Structure 1
Amino acid sequence: MAESNNLKFDKDKHIRFFTRTLQVLPSRYEVLDSNRLTIAFFAVSGLDVLNSLNKLSSSTKKEIIDWIYSLQVVPDKHGSNKRKCGFRGSTTNGVTTHKDIKVAEVAHTFDSGHIAMTYTGLACLIILGDDLSRVDKTACLEGLKALQLKDGSFESTLDGSENDMRFIYCASCICTMLDDFSPINESLAVSYIKKSKSYDGGFGQGPGQESHGGSTYCAISSLLLLNQLHNAFSQKEIMRLQRWCLNRQKSGFHGRPHKDDDTCYSFWIGASLKLIGSLELCDWHENEQYIISTQDSVIGGFGKWPQSHPDALHGYMGLCGLSMMGMHNLSPINPALNITQRASDHMFSLHRTWHEEKLKNQSPTLTDAMGTHFGTTVMAFVIGLGAVFLPWIYSNFSGSE
C-alpha cells in the first residue's frame, strides 16, 4: 500500500526492537518485573507477527521455553497447593521451578500462579512450537477453576485480587489452549458478561461500569471462545456494539468517548470489529497512518501517542492492528486468542494429537487398524451387513414376480 506524509513502516527496526526486548530493557521497566512473562509474550509474538521468529536461534528458543517452564507452579507431593497452580509472572518472589520437576517437595506459602501469566505463558510456548508436554494440565485447570467467583467473574490469584472482564478472557483463552472448558461455569461467566453491557452497546469491566475498548474486546472474545456470542446477544445488540466501536475512530482508535487516539486500541477496538465481521467499515488508511505516526524512527517499536517512547505493549498491539488490515506483509493473527494464525494452527494440531491419543487409550480395538480385534470387528460388521442386504438383493433381483 502506498504511504503518504513520508510515513514508512520500518520492519527491520521493529525486529531489532523485539529481539532487544528479550535481552535488555530500560530502567523504567523495573516496575513490571513481576510481569516479565507478559513482556516476553509481547516480544515473542511480535516477532511472530513480523514473520521473524527465525531471528531467534534454536538454542535461544529452547532457553526461553525452559525459562517459561521454570515459572510453572506445580503441585506439591501432598497436593495442598493445587488451587494455586498455573504460571507465575517471574521469579521476583524468589521461587523458581526446575524444568524437570513435576511434583514439588514443599509448596511455598506465598507462591501461586496468576491467571494472566498462565495465559501468556501458554501462548508463548505455543508460539515457540512447544508441545506443552511439560504443562501440568490437570493442575493448571484446577488452579483456574478455583479463581471463578459466584458472580461468574475470575480473580487473578487465589489469595485475593481484582476480578473483572480481563480475567474471564484469560480463563477462556487458557481453556481453549488446553482444550478443556470444564473449569469454567459458562452460564455464570456469560451472565456476568451480559450484565456488564452498557446502555451505549459497549462493555465495562463489570456490571454498571463505563464502556471501555479493552473490556469490550475481552467480552466479545470470551463469548466467541465459549461459542456463546450469538446466543447471548441479538443481532440488534451486535449492531449497537458495532456502532459504538466505529465511533471510537478519529484517525486511529481510542478506548472511550472524548479520549485521544492510542495505538493499542487499533487492536482492542479493531479486533472487536474483526470478530463481529465489521472491520472493513472503518477507515484503514487513517488507522495505518496513525499507527505509523507513533513509530520510533531510531530504535523501532510503537508508542502510545506520536512522539512518545515506544514500549513492548504498544509495539505489539500496533503490529496486530496493521496485521488485521492485511498490511505490510505481516503474519495474519487469530484475533480472539491474540496470537498468529500460524501459532493457532499449531495449537489445533496439538489438540488433534491429544484427541487421537485419548481415543487410542480408550478404544484400542477401534484405533489399532492392524490388530486382531479390529479385524474381528470389521468381519462382524461385514457379516451383519450381508445378513441385511443379501435377502433384499435376492428378493429384488431373483426374477420372481
Structure 2
Amino acid sequence: MNKRVHARYFSRFLNLLPHRLSCHDSTRATIGFFSVSGIDVLDSLDLLSEESKKNIIDWIYSLQVIPKEGGLKCGGFQGATTLNLLDPPENYSTDQYKWGHLAMTYTCIAVLVILGDDLSRVDRKAIIEGVASVQRDDGSFSASVEGNEFDMRFVYCASCICFMLNDWGNVDKKLMSQYILKSIRYDGGVSQHLENESHGGTTFCAIAALQLSDQMHLLNSKQMEKLKRWLLFRQDGGFQGRPNKPIDTCYSFWIGAALKIIDAFELSNFKENREYILSCQDTIVGGFSKWSGTSSDPFHTYFGLCGLSFLREPGLLEVQPCLNISMRAFERLKNLHKIWQLHSQMEVQLNIE
C-alpha cells in the first residue's frame, strides 16, 4: 500500500470537491473530517503546511453557531457556511437557519483536536446545552432542532461530543442507555431505531455510546455473547452490514470497531479482511471504493484505512475505536481534559480563598 498516494488523494478534497460530490456541500465538514483524519491515520500530516492547518482550523470555527439570547439552544457547528435557497422567503435572514448539528459538531471538534487546536474558541457550554436540548423523551437525540431526524447515529454523536468536551451537562445518560437497550434485537445486533432491523453501523454507534458514557456494564453476559456472535457472523471475506447483504469496505470499521470495543476483534479472519480491503484500493489515483472495481470516495477510503489500522497494517497509526480518531489525537484530547480539570480546580480554590 502506497501511503503517499492515499494521503494526496485526501489532500485534494481539502481544496476542491469534484462535481459528483457537490450534493454533499451542506455536510462539507464531514468530508473535511474524513480527509484530515485520514491523513492523520496515514501518519502524513506533514503534507499540510502550518498555514493550511491554520486555514482549516479557522474555517471550522467559522461554522460554529453560538445561540443568541432568547433564541434556540442549539449551539454547535454547522456542516458548511453555504445555504441553497433558490427562492428566499420575504424578510429572509441566515440567522434563523443557524443551529448546531450533532454529526457536524462531532466531526468539527474531532478535526480541531487532530490538528492540535486547544479548543479555546469552542463554546463548550453552548454546545453541551445544545446536545441536552435535542434529547428526546425516549432517550434518543434529534440531529438538531426538534422535528429533525433522530436515531442511533445521533445517540453516538451526542456521546462523542460530551466525551470530547468532558462534560455531559444535563444529558440524561440513563434514559439514553434505556433507548439503546430497547433497540437490541433478538439476533444480538442493534437497530437504527427501536424495532428496526439490526445493522452494523448502528450496532457500533450503540456500543460505542455505552462505552463512552461508562455504561457497558448494562449489557449482561448473554447479550454480550449474542452481540459477539452477530458481529463475527458479518464476516464473509470482508464485512457486511446486515445478513444477506454484500460485503463493503466501510464495515471493516463499523463491525471491526465494535469487535475491538468488546475485545473480540482477534476472533475475526485478519487475512481475508485485509485482502478484501486492499482489493478495493485505487493504486493510481488513490483512495478506496465500496466494492472492488468501482470508484473510490473519501468515506470508504477513510473507513478502509481504519479497518487496515485495526489489522496493524505497517505505517498506519492506531485508531481509537470509540471516537474514530487516531490514538495520537486521542492522547492529545486526554491532555486537554487534564488541563481543563486543573483550571477548574484552580477556579474552585480561588473562589474558596
TM-score interval (norm. to shorter)? over 0.9
Per-residue CA shift, 1:221-244, capped at 9, x if unaligned? 0000011012x1112211110000
What residue number does 1:324 align with? 310
Secondary structure of the residue aligned to 1:32 is helix
Higher relative contact order (CA 8 A, sep 6+): 2
Correspondence 1:42 to 2:29: no
- The separation in 2 between residues aligned to 1:30 and 1:81, in whole angstroms, is 31
Alignment of 1:106-125 (within 5 A): 108-125=95-112
Does the 8 Å CA contact 1:82/1:142 hold for their aligned counterparts? no
Which secondary structure does the structure 2 equivalent of 1:83 belong to? Answer: coil
1:279 partner letter: F
- Structure 1 distance, partners of 2:94, 2:42, is 40
| Pairs within 5 Å for 1:280-319 | 280-319=266-305
Q: Which residue of 1 is the match for residue 222 of structure 2? A: 236
Q: Match for residue 8 of structure 2? A: 16
CA distance in 2, matches of 1:328, 1:41: 23
CA distance 1:250–1:122, shift in 2 (3 Å):
same
Paired position in structure 2 for 1:53 = 45
1:89 aligns with 2:76: no
TM-superposed CA distance for 1:93, in Å, is 1.9
Instruction: Report the counterpart of residue 251 of structure 2 in structure 1.
Output: 265
1: CA distance, partners of 2:95 / 2:207: 37
Structure 1: distance between partners of 2:78 and 2:70: 17
**Contact 1:80 1:107 survives alignment (8 Å):** no
Taking the aligned partners of 1:158 and 1:80, their CA distance within structure 2 comes to 15
Query: 1:160: how far off?
Result: 2.0
* Cα contact 1:156–1:167 (8 A) shared by 2: yes
- Asked if structure 2 preserves the Cα contact closer than 8 Å seen for 1:248 and 1:257, the reply is yes
SS of equivalent residue, structure 1 residue 108: helix
Aligned partner of residue 295 in structure 1, secondary structure: coil
List gaps (5 residues or longer) in structure 1.
1-8, 96-105, 367-372, 374-401
Task: Return closer, same or farther for 1:58/1:294 CA change in 2, 3 Å cut-off.
Answer: same
1:182 is matched with which residue?
A: 169
* Cα separation, partners in 2 of 1:303 and 1:75, compared to 1, 3 Å: same
Aligned length: 346
The residue type paired with residue 184 of structure 1 is: V
Q: CA deviation at 1:365?
A: 9.4
Give per-residue Cα distances to partners, 1:313-363, cap 9 Å, x unaligned.
100000000101111221001100000111011111011001111111111
Per-residue CA deviation, residues 248-269 of structure 1 (Å, 9 max, x unaligned), is: 0001000000111100000000
For the 8 Å contact 2:75–2:129, the answer to whether it is kept is yes
Residue type at the aligned position of 1:214: G
| Aligned match for 1:276, one of 262, 286, 303 | 262
Q: In structure 2, what is the Cα distance between the partners aligned to 1:23 and 1:328?
A: 28
List per-residue Cα deviations over 1:192-244 (Å, max 9, x = no partner): 000000000000011111000000000000000011012x1112211110000
1:165 equivalent to 2:157? Answer no
Residue 88 (structure 2) aligns with: none
Misfit runs of 4+, over 3 Å: none
C-alpha contact (below 8 Å) 1:252/1:263 kept by paired residues:
yes
Q: How does 1:358-397 map to 2 (within 5 A)?
A: 358-364=344-350
TM-aligned CA deviation for residue 111 of structure 1:
1.4
* Cα distance between partner residues in 1 of 2:170 and 2:204: 22
Identity of matched residues, %: 49
Contact 1:81–1:107 (8 Å) recurs in 2: no
User: Superposed, which structure 2 residues align to 1:183-198 within 5 Å?
Assistant: 183-198=170-185
TM-score for the superposition, normalised by structure 2: 0.95
Corresponding position: 1:31 with 2:18: no
Q: CA deviation at 1:297?
A: 2.0
Alignment-mate amino acid for residue 315 of structure 2: N
Gap runs ≥5 in structure 2: 86-92
> For 1:143 and 1:216, how far apart are their aligned partners in 2?
25
Task: Find 1:80's aligned residue among 49, 55, 70.
Answer: 70
| CA–CA separation in structure 2 for the residues paired with 1:297 and 1:267 | 21
Contact preservation (8 Å) 2:129, 2:169: no
Q: Is the 8 A contact 2:134 2:146 kept in 1?
A: no
Does the alignment pair 1:68 with 2:81? no
Equivalent residue for 1:221? 208
Q: Structure 1 length as normaliser, TM-score?
A: 0.84
Q: How many Å apart are 1:183 and its aligned residue?
A: 3.2
